[in-house]
Amino acid sequence: MKFLDKFHENRYEMAMAIAENTYKIQGYTYVETVDPLRDYVIGEDNGVVYVLEVNKHCTDVRKCLGIDYLYSEPFPFQEGVSVGVLDIALRIIKSFRDMSGLREHILNKELIQFEARDYMYLRNTSEPENVYQRFVNSLRDREVEELALLSRNYMEMYRVLDRNPEGVEKLEEKFREVEAEILRIAGKNGVEYVEGYGRIDPEEHISEDEEHIEREVESPLDVLHILAQVRARKVRENIDGFLEYLRRSEGPLTWGPVNATGVLLDSFERRTGTILILNPGDLVVNRGGEKRVHVEPGIILVEKLVESG
């Protein structure tokens, strides 16, 4: 028996070691186990064996795996369709006929995802830069750069004030000035921030015996959230420039076992990768040999169904 890799070989042995019953279903061998939560399915592709995990008592294997078709079957290239390539799933997030369709999707859907990941990127310096961050940074926007510097000042001042040292009245005044400037830039860019430092919780009760200074019952502005929102606003205002940037970024790419011609929009914990396809062509999955899948213009989420590989 030839396995996809050592991980699948060991998983096969584990599944059979706890098997209670096995039977054929939808082209797989279903393995019922003594595990109260998980069963397994064994697939075979051109003599190569792979093993996938499913929820207990799964009755529709493809549905449990989150796939609609196998790569060897004809499938419609349309939103919501998912194609299984051994232990990889290709999920079609969006298909479009022209750049106007992509433009609409980015404005109405994708920018929300970009902004959320941008917030994590700003919070964590080890977060990898993707095409969205590269474009925003290439704008060299004066307000964005000023807001980034003010945010660093603001957080540094707050850390000092939060330790409640004596004699910080002048620092408190400067802190408020920086805060006001951050909110001014945010407001100018249509970002209304309603929670944060300077808003006392009306439910908070301070007794006369407890002389808390004001900042002890307040929260600082989430300045990185504000910065991410302003950065997203700048992309929205420069959407045609962003589309052109995506076109210029198109080229051969590799993500995990996948090779394609397109743009890698995002990658999450080496488990999923989001790829923009601008022209019809073949996406190649190098698992158990070279598997070619024809793709049309659209956005595809590549997901590993196991932790190996």
- Per-residue tens of pLDDT for the chain, all 309 residues: 899 999 999 999 999 999 999 999 999 999 999 999 999 999 999 999 999 999 999 999 999 999 999 999 999 999 999 999 999 999 999 999 888 999 999 998 889 989 999 999 999 877 788 999 999 999 999 999 999 999 999 999 999 988 888 888 899 999 999 999 999 999 999 988 655 444 333 344 444 444 444 444 367 889 999 999 999 999 999 999 999 999 999 999 999 999 999 999 988 877 899 999 999 999 999 999 999 999 999 999 999 998 754
Give the global pTM. Answer: 0.83
Polymer length in residues for the chain: 309
Contact (CB, 8 A) for 83 and 204: no
Classify each residue of 244-280 as buried b or exposed e, where b means 16 or more C-beta atoms within 10 Å of its C-beta: ebbeebeeebebbbbbbbbbbbbbeeeebbbbbbbee
Angle at 298 between CA 294 and CA 299, to 5 degrees: 105
Span 108-149, pLDDT tens digits: 888 998 999 999 999 987 778 899 999 999 999 999 999 999
Closest CA to 225 of 197, 202, 247: 197
Q: Give pLDDT tens digits for 245-283.
A: 999 999 999 999 999 999 999 888 778 999 999 999 999
